[in-house]
Amino acid sequence: MTRLHLRVTPLALACVFLAQTARAQAADTGRVWEQGSWRGMGDVPAGAHILDHPLSLALGRNAIYVFNAGSATVVALGLDGRLLWRYSPPDSLRFGADRVVSLAAGFDGGVWVADPNSGRCTILSPLGNVERVVPMRDGRHFAPRSDGSFWQSRYLAIQPMLFDANGHRVRTLRLPASLAAPPNAVGDALLAVTADTLVVAYSMAGRFLIAPPHGAARDVRAIEPRAFATFAQSDVTVAGRAVHTFKTHANELPATLGLAVDSGVIYALYFNARGATGDPGRTVDMYRTASGRYVGSRRLPMSATHIAIRGDVTYALTGEGDLRIWRWVPSPTPPSHSGGPATVSRSL
């Protein structure tokens, strides 16, 4: 029997308040820090026979989906973190050896499992059954639409492409003229669709695109600027054949580490280069989906690699391989530019 180490924080328990580093917040005067506290709702630790080197995360209608790179499986968890089912693919749908797999929630409550190095995306039902398989290549980040079509980003081009339900390319997103980028810019981007509006968050640039179903895409600059990263191309010989390789320059910093869209707000897990040294993956910047206007930032109580958000609850994968569930409790104190510390409540 699987044992789940799930810790829930009842309201009646005493809380320990841990101040976040004011130095890290004061170092970045461009952000407006929301005041409030984080309440731990539960966690699924690594080694609980559920998570095995989790690589990606998606939040469905009634489940949290996680891809485990260690066991090459997809697990579905209840919104409280309890295991619902586990998917191990048959040999015909086995994941690529490098297991660079990405997840996205489907509109029917299921999950899309993209494995571009194997050239396919497996679509699972809310019960974990294979519904269909569509071809997918050249990029691991994508966003399904309600009609079964999907957007996909590419590493070597900054223009996301739209594919129909059978995996055939329909069109390429037209970029605004203000989005100037060098020809060798890294185009890899996190994608999300909300009410048929596409949100594009470039992984290696402080830029976002908001593309409504009708009209031109809007170019949004991140509150912390970051130029487009570039890649270098080289040729190597493998088994007597010339192979093209592409590599990001060593001094390039990442930008958006994770993306979530909920209730008209874009949440970007940002690599805050202005924060505390050695403390990446803790800054969540928020923007309005309708206008792209920046509305504030929060400091997560842990370093995260992926996030999913619904309402005031944040689900986050950590670098240690845990899944953490936290609830944000706003404070009546006005937002702060100087970084009055947020607090974290934990069970004793």
What does the DSSP assignment read for 254-322? Answer: P-EEEEEEETTEEEEEE--TTSSTT--S-EEEEEETTT--EEEEEE-SS-EEEEEEETTEEEEEETTS-
Q: Is residue 153 part of a domain?
A: yes
Q: Is residue 103 part of a domain?
A: yes
The tens digit of pLDDT for each residue in 198-252 reads 999 999 999 999 999 988 999 999 999 999 988 877 766 776 776 656 666 667 7
CB 151 within 8 A of CB 164: no
pLDDT in the model for residue 249: 63
CA 264 to chain centre: 17
- Find the DSSP H helices in 3-115: 22-26
Count: domains in the chain: 1
pLDDT band at 21 (very low <50, low <70, confident <90, very high): very low
Q: Is residue 29 part of a domain?
A: no
Query: Which helix (H) or strand (E) covers residue 160, if one does?
Result: strand 157-163
User: What's the mean pLDDT when you consider all of the chain?
Assistant: 84
What is the average per-residue pLDDT within 81-102?
88
Q: Is residue 32 part of a domain?
A: no
Q: Is residue 191 part of a domain?
A: yes
The range of the structural domain enclosing residue 164 comes to 44-175+183-327
Q: Is residue 279 part of a domain?
A: yes
- Would the pLDDT of 277 be above 60? no
Task: Give the separation between CA 72 and CA 88, rounded to whole angstroms.
Answer: 7
Query: Which helix (H) or strand (E) covers residue 336, if one does?
Result: none
pLDDT band at 332 (very low <50, low <70, confident <90, very high): confident
pLDDT in the model for residue 80: 87
Task: Give the separation between CA 202 and CA 175, rounded to whole angstroms.
Answer: 13
Phi and psi at 203, nearest 5°, equal -70, -25
pLDDT band at 32 (very low <50, low <70, confident <90, very high): very high
Of 183, 179, 120, the C-alpha closest to 157 is 183
Q: Is residue 24 part of a domain?
A: no
CATH assignment of the domain containing 128? 2.120.10.30
Q: Is residue 106 part of a domain?
A: yes
Q: What percent of the chain has pLDDT over 90?
A: 60
pLDDT in the model for residue 274: 76
Name which residue leads in pLDDT, 328 or 9: 328
